[in-house]
Amino acid sequence: MADELTPRAKAWADTMAGHPDGDLVRAHAGWQASPGPGPIVHRELREQRERATLRSGAAFAEGAGNRAIAEEPDDERTCFERDRDRIVHSTAFRRLAGKTQVVVYPTDHQRTRLTHALEVAQVATSIARGVGVNVTLADAIALGHDCGHGPGGHASEDAFDAFIPEGYDHGPWGADVVLQGLNLCAETLDGIRNHSWSRPAPLTVEGHIVSWADRIAYCAHDLEDAIHAGIVRPDDLPDEIVEVCGRTRRQQLNTFVRAVVRAVEEHGEVGMPPSEAAALAALRAFNYERIYVRPASLAQSRAVIELLRALVECYSEHPELMPDGLEVEARSVTAVRAAVTYVAGMTDRYAFDMAMRHLDWPPERLPRGIDRDA
C-alpha cells in the first residue's frame, strides 16, 4: 500500500509518530520551540491575572462557575474558558454551518449562522479587550448566541410560534433547550438568552457587549453579502451612513467597534455615541428595507414557515419518526414540543430533505435561494 502513495501522501504519513528526540517528541524535526522561563498558567493564576488587570465591573471567573449541576473547577481552565470550549465542540454549534443567515442555499461567499457567530465573536472580543473586561466570557456568549435558531433564518421563529405557548425566541430556546446539556455557567446562559435588544438586559457587561457586537456584525456583513449578490449597489447606501462609517464592511466595523470602546472610556458604560448609533440604526433600516423585506426575501420566509410547520405537525402526529423512536402520545403537548425541538435543530438542507421524504413536498415549493434576478 505504501508504494501506491504519492510523495506528498508519503511525507504526511511519515510524520505519524512525530520526531522523537530523547525524552521529547517534536512536531518539526530539528526545531526547538522554547517558550522561555515562567510558571505554567493554570486556572488560579489566570483568575489572579483577571483580578489584577480587568475593570472592576467585569465578570470575573473567580467566584463564578454557577452551573445547574455543580462541577469541580478545572485545573487548567477558568469556568468561562470551559464554556467556550463546550460550545465550540457542540453539535448545535457545528450545525450552524448549515443554517441560513439571510438566504437559504448560500453561495460560497455568503454568510451562514456559523460564520455570523464567528464574526460576532471577533467584534465582541475586540470591544471586550479594548475596554478591559472578560474577553473569554464575551467570546463564549457570542459563539453560542444563535444556537437556538432553526433552519431557514428568523422565519423559523414565526413557524414555531404556532406550537410553543410562550412563543419561540431563539435566545431563550438556545440557552434553555439547545445548550442545556452543556451545563454552562449562569453568566454565559444569561448572555445568550438576552442578546437580542427586545429581551431583558443581560446581567453582565460582557453580555451587553455581545448585544452590540451582534447588531454591528450583521448590519455590516449582511450588506456586504447583498452587494456581492447584486441585490444592492455600494452607491445605494445613503450619504448619512457613508459620512459616518463608510461604505465597506471594514470601515463600518472599525467605526462601530471604536465607538463602543470610546463610549466606555468617556461614560463608563457600554453604549455608542449618538452620531455612530444613528448611522448604525440607519444602516439597519436600509438593510431591512432593501434586503430583509424585499419581495424575494418575504417569499423565502413564507416558504420556510409553511414547510417547517408541516414538518412539526408530521412529527407531532408520528413521533416514532423522530430519533430513538420517541414513545409519547401522538399530538400530545410532549410530542409537539419534541417535534419543535427536533425540527429546530435541523440544518436547512436536512429539513428540506425530510419534507420531501415524509411529506412528498414538491420541489417547486421549497424555499429558494436569492439570486440577482429575484
Cell of 53: 488587570
DSSP string, 326-367: --S-TTSHHHHHHHHHHHHTS-HHHHHHHHHHHH---GGGS-
Task: Identify which of 354, 324, 356 has the alpha carbon closest to the alpha carbon of residue 338.
Answer: 324
Q: Output 313 or 372, whichever has higher pLDDT.
A: 313
> pLDDT tens digits, residue range 88-103?
999 999 999 999 999 8
Identity (one letter) of the amino acid at 159?
A: A
Return the pLDDT at 371: 54
Confidence tier at 4 by pLDDT (50, 70, 90):
confident
CA separation for the pair 322, 327 (Å, rounded): 10
What pLDDT, in 10s, does the model give residues 45-55?
Answer: 999 999 999 99
State whether residue 115 is helix, strand or coil: helix
Other C-beta atoms within 10 Å of 113: how many?
25
Smallest CA-to-CA distance from 320 within 305, 307, 331, 309 is with 331
Q: How many Cβ atoms sit within 10 Å of the Cβ of residue 276?
A: 20
Mean pLDDT, rounded, for 131-153: 98
Count of other CB atoms within 10 angstroms of residue 82? 25
Taking the model in full, what pTM does it have?
A: 0.96
Q: What is the mean pLDDT of the chain?
A: 95
Q: Which of 101, 103, 102, 100 is nearest to 369 (CA)?
A: 103
pLDDT in tens, 66-79: 999 999 999 999 99
Measured from the Cβ of residue 150, the count of other Cβ atoms closer than 10 Å reads 28
Assess contact for 346 and 314: CB atoms under 8 A: no
> Do 300 and 371 touch, CB atoms closer than 8 A?
no
Helix axes 249-267, 113-131, angle to 10 degrees: 40
Residue closest to 113 by CA, chosen among 193, 170, 29 = 170
16's torsion region: left (phi>0), alpha (psi -120 to 50) or beta? Answer: alpha
| pLDDT tens string 215-237 | 999 999 999 999 999 999 999 99
Residues 6+ apart with CB under 8 A from 96: 112, 113, 114, 116, 117, 146, 147, 149
Q: Which residues contact 70 (CB under 8 A, 6 or more apart)?
A: none
Find all residues with CB under 8 Å of 245, minimum gap 6, and list them. Answer: 251, 252, 255, 256, 276, 279, 280, 283
Give the H or E element holding residue 116: helix 113-131
User: Hey, what domains does the chain have and what are their CATH numbers?
Assistant: 77-295 (1.10.3210.10), 298-365 (no CATH)
Maximum separation of any 2 CA atoms in the chain, in Å = 68
Question: C-alpha cell of 40?
Answer: 505554567
Residue 154 has pLDDT above 80, yes or no: yes
| Number of neighbouring beta carbons within 10 Å of residue 58 | 21
